[in-house]
């Protein structure tokens, strides 16, 4: 693969690396440019041959090469070192425009402090802070967007306890919301009552079965006792009959005994 094509590929891959030279105010020393992306060094590393590159650019290059892209001297990631102090100082002192210049920011400051400015730049694009809102606004316009944002929400002012999105504000109807909730609760309640009823019924069923068993056992015992009783009754009856018989015999004997002396007297 020809070197130029490869450099072009690397340039597309690492487009974001390096600071666009167009943003700088005044002369920028050639030595502060990255030999790979040709922009001003960002997070730089230096090779023993003194050529300097953005960290991302040179690491990307060394994946498929083992030399310096500028002079072809052998190069390995382990020998890369931080930029010489004097070069670092020159780099940090370079003045450049804020990246939001095209949106209206006219801030120019040193490379060393541009990051801090851009993190808070009023012209920087940020996402709306309301959950679900896809809108991106410049930081300085966030407040006016928030006042109109369709994703802003507030607690219902009528005290139903619902949080209402501003887009649903006009459709919000406390009574309807509460009625829906009430319906839900009611059907849940009915379900639970049904469950409790089923459980109670099955428990009663098993108790009933148990009682039926017990009743038939008792019935058997009663039958048994009845037959025992009737046997005893017939025994008693026959004992009584025997007793009566015995008494009659005794009376008979008594009578005969009383008769005897009179007949004896008669015979005397
Ligand atoms: Zn670079
Ligand atoms: Zn070199
Ligand atoms: Zn700015
Ligand atoms: Zn929003
Ligand atoms: Zn409400």
What is the distance in A from the centroid of ligand 4 to the CA of 24?
35
From the CA of 126, which ligand is nearest? 4
Question: Which ligand sits nearest to residue 159's alpha carbon?
Answer: 5
Dist CA 190 CA 182 (whole Å): 12
Q: Ligand 1 mean position to 130 CA, how many Å? A: 37
**Which ligand sits closest to the CA of 35?**
1
Rounded to the nearest angstrom, the distance between the alpha carbon of 58 and the centre of ligand 1 is 7
Q: Cβ contacts of residue 153 below 8 Å, gap of 6+? A: 130, 163, 164, 165, 166
pLDDT value at residue 246: 95
Question: What domains appear along the chain, each with residue ranges and CATH number?
Answer: 3-119 (3.30.40.10), 125-168 (no CATH)
Q: How far is the CA of 128 from the centre of ligand 3 (A)?
A: 19
Query: pLDDT tens digit string along 84-139?
Result: 999 999 999 999 999 999 999 999 999 999 999 999 999 999 999 898 899 999 99
pLDDT in tens, the chain (268 residues): 445 445 545 444 444 589 999 999 999 999 999 989 999 999 999 999 999 999 999 999 999 999 999 999 999 999 999 999 999 999 999 999 999 999 999 999 999 999 999 999 999 999 998 988 999 999 999 999 999 898 888 888 888 888 888 878 788 888 888 899 999 999 999 999 999 999 999 999 999 999 999 999 999 999 999 999 999 999 999 999 999 999 999 999 999 988 876 655 555 5
CA 252 to chain centre: 109
Residue 267: the pLDDT is: 54
Nearest-angstrom CA–CA distance, 100 and 256: 154
DSSP state of 11: H
- pTM as predicted: 0.53
Confidence at residue 83, expressed as pLDDT on a 0 to 100 scale: 95
Q: Note whether 103 and 83 are within 8 A (CB).
A: no
């Amino acid at each position: 693969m020809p070197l130029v094509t490869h450099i072009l590929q690397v340039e597309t891959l690492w487009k974001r690396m390096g600071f666009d030279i167009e943003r700088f105010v005044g002369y920028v020393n050639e030595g502060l440019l990255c030999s790979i992306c040709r922009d001003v060094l960002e997070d730089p590393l230096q090779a023993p041959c003194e050529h300097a590159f953005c960290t991302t650019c040179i690491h990307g290059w060394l994946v498929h090469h083992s030399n310096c892209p500028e002079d072809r001297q052998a190069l390995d990631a382990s020998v890369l070192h931080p930029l010489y102090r004097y070069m670092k100082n020159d780099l940090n002192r370079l003045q450049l425009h804020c990246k939001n210049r095209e949106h209206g920011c006219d801030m120019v400051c040193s490379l060393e402090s541009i990051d801090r400015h851009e993190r808070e730049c009023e012209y920087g694009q940020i996402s709306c802070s309301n959950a679900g809102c896809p809108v991106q606004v410049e930081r300085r316009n966030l407040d006016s967007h928030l006042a109109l944002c369709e994703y802003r929400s507030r607690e219902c002012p009528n005290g139903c306890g619902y949080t209402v999105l501003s887009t649903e504000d006009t459709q919000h109807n406390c009574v309807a919301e509460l009625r829906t909730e009430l319906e839900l609760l009611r059907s849940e309640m009915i379900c639970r009552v049904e469950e409790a009823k089923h459980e109670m019924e099955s428990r009663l069923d098993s108790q009933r079965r148990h009682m039926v068993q017990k009743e038939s056992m008792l019935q058997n015992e009663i039958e048994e006792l009845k037959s025992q009783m009737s046997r005893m009754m017939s025994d008693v009856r026959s004992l009584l009959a025997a007793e009566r018989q015995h008494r009659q015999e005794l009376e008979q004997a008594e009578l005969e005994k009383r008769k005897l002396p009179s007949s004896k007297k008669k015979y005397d």
